[in-house]
């Protein structure tokens, strides 16, 4: 029969201790949540083990195992707090850190417990709250929405229901309804402003033509008649009005030759679009319109030389059309 010798009984106690230690580590590994008291006791135990350790690698591994087994701490108020021991584990696994340095680290960590204040919850003074809520400023009834407000609410609800059908709640695509309504309202306002501005510009263009005919005593305005009037005004030094007649003579000339339709309701830019298929014509007409806008609507003054240059551009336009 095999005998352990005189150290046999000590070896048996050593094996029992090892089994108990392994059993303790197994229980810790299976339980990821501990109470706050148990957690701080575990930190203190690891500190003590590091302080009294002889086997460097064994105590490091044991500490890593114990920290890895804990991922949640149950607080006294019943809540659970996740906890990450990544930093402590890395320090334990770093061979450049000796046991003394690690023990100091865990001592500092354990001492931080004293800085944790106990959770306190203020007592609700229901009487004071009731007194505050009984003040006149809190005693009001919401006004009933008027007709326009109800109409707006119904419209908003209709739009919201429409987009909810397109993009159900489980869809990953979300449209900000408030922003969408603001965008639609802004587009509507811009559309109204653009329409009003177009009408204003059209009225100004029409006024220029009507004013010219009134100055001629109601006589129908033709391209030649407008050109003659421009020459008379420029001779008298009234370059601004002369530019207006030159511009009108240009539009009337293009209409007489079937190149555009003269319409007082059209804006100057719309006239340009009607001849956009003729780039050479559109380029000269654009110059004529630009000068007219600056002088007639912008009240820009012209010198005699600048007026002659403008008249030359109109004449170039007339010559080009006559030779085609």
Kindly report, residue by residue over 134-171, the tens digit of the pLDDT.
888 777 777 788 888 888 888 888 877 777 777 666 55
The answer, yes or no, to whether residue 40 has pLDDT greater than 70, is yes
In three-state form (DSSP H/G/I as H, E/B as E, the rest C), the secondary structure along 206-265 is: HHHHHHHHHHCCCCCCCHHHHHHHHHHHHHCCCHHHHHHHHHHHHHHHHHHCCCCCCCCC
Taking the C-alpha atoms of residue 55 and residue 53, their distance in angstroms, rounded to an integer, is 6
- So what's the pLDDT on residue 177? 55
Average pLDDT over residues 240-248: 89
The answer, yes or no, to whether residue 247 has pLDDT greater than 80, is yes
- So what's the pLDDT on residue 176? 56
The winner for highest mean pLDDT among 108-117, 206-215, 226-235 is 226-235
The answer, yes or no, to whether residue 307 has pLDDT greater than 50, is yes
Taking the C-alpha atoms of residue 295 and residue 301, their distance in angstroms, rounded to an integer, is 6
Q: What is the pLDDT of residues 13-31, one digit of tens each?
A: 444 344 344 444 444 444 5
Taking alpha carbons only, the member of 214, 265, 268, 219 closest to residue 241 is 214
Taking the chain, what is the end-to-end CA distance rounded to the nearest angstrom? 131
CA distances from 323 to 249, 250, 284, 285, 289 (A): 18, 16, 15, 17, 22
Q: What is the pLDDT of residues 203-212, one digit of tens each?
A: 455 455 545 5
- So what's the pLDDT on residue 186? 67
Question: Which residues, including other chains, have CB under 8 Å from residue 122's CB and lie 6 or more apart?
Answer: none
Percent of the chain's residues with pLDDT above 70: 70
Percent of the chain's residues with pLDDT above 90: 6
DSSP, res 167:
S
Taking alpha carbons only, the member of 271, 265, 281 closest to residue 314 is 281
Cβ–Cβ under 8 Å, residues 4 and 11: yes
Assessment of whether the complete model's pTM goes beyond 0.75: no
Q: Are strands 80-82 and 72-74 parallel, antiparallel or unpaired?
A: antiparallel
User: What strands, in cross-sheet order, belong to the sheet with 80-82?
Assistant: 33-35, 72-74, 80-82
Distance of CA 20 to the CA centre of its chain: 61
Match 């046999």 to its residue by tokens: 8
Taking the C-alpha atoms of residue 36 and residue 33, their distance in angstroms, rounded to an integer, is 10
Taking the C-alpha atoms of residue 129 and residue 143, their distance in angstroms, rounded to an integer, is 25
CA distances from 219 to 215, 233, 250, 261 (A): 9, 17, 18, 20
- What 3-state class would DSSP assign to 78? coil
Cβ–Cβ under 8 Å, residues 74 and 36: yes
- What 3-state class would DSSP assign to 97? coil
Cβ–Cβ under 8 Å, residues 288 and 250: yes
Strands (E), 58-215: 72-74, 80-82
- So what's the pLDDT on residue 65? 92
């Amino acid at each position: 029969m095999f005998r352990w010798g005189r150290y046999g009984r000590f070896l048996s106690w050593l094996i029992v201790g090892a089994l108990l230690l392994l059993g303790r580590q197994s229980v810790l590994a299976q339980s990821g949540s501990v109470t706050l008291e148990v957690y701080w006791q575990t930190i203190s135990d690891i500190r003590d083990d590091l302080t009294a350790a002889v086997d460097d690698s064994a105590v490091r591994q044991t500490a890593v195992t114990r920290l890895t087994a804990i991922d949640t701490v149950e607080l006294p108020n019943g809540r659970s707090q996740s906890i990450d021991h990544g930093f402590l584990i890395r320090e334990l696994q770093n061979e450049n850190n000796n046991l003394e340095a690690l023990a100091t680290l865990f001592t500092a960590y354990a001492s931080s417990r004293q800085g944790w204040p106990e959770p306190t919850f203020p007592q609700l003074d229901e009487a004071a709250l009731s007194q505050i809520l009984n003040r006149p400023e809190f005693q009001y009834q919401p006004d009933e929405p008027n007709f326009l407000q109800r109409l707006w609410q119904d419209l908003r609800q209709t739009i919201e229901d429409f987009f909810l059908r397109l993009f159900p709640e489980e869809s990953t695509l979300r449209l900000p309804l408030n922003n969408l309504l603001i965008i639609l309202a802004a587009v509507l306002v811009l559309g109204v402003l653009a329409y009003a501005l177009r009408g204003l510009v059209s009225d100004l263009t029409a006024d220029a033509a009507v004013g010219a005919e009134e100055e001629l005593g109601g006589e129908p305005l033709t391209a030649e008649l407008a050109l003659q009037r421009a020459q008379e005004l420029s001779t008298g030094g009234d370059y601004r009005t002369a530019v207006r007649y030159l511009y009108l003579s240009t539009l009337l000339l293009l209409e007489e030759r079937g190149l555009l339709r003269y319409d007082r309701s059209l804006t100057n830019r719309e006239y340009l679009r009607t001849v956009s298929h003729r780039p050479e014509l559109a380029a000269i007409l654009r110059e004529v319109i630009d000068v007219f806008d600056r002088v007639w609507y912008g009240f820009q003054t012209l010198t005699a030389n600048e007026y002659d240059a403008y008249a030359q551009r109109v004449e170039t336009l007339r010559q080009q059309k006559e030779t085609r």
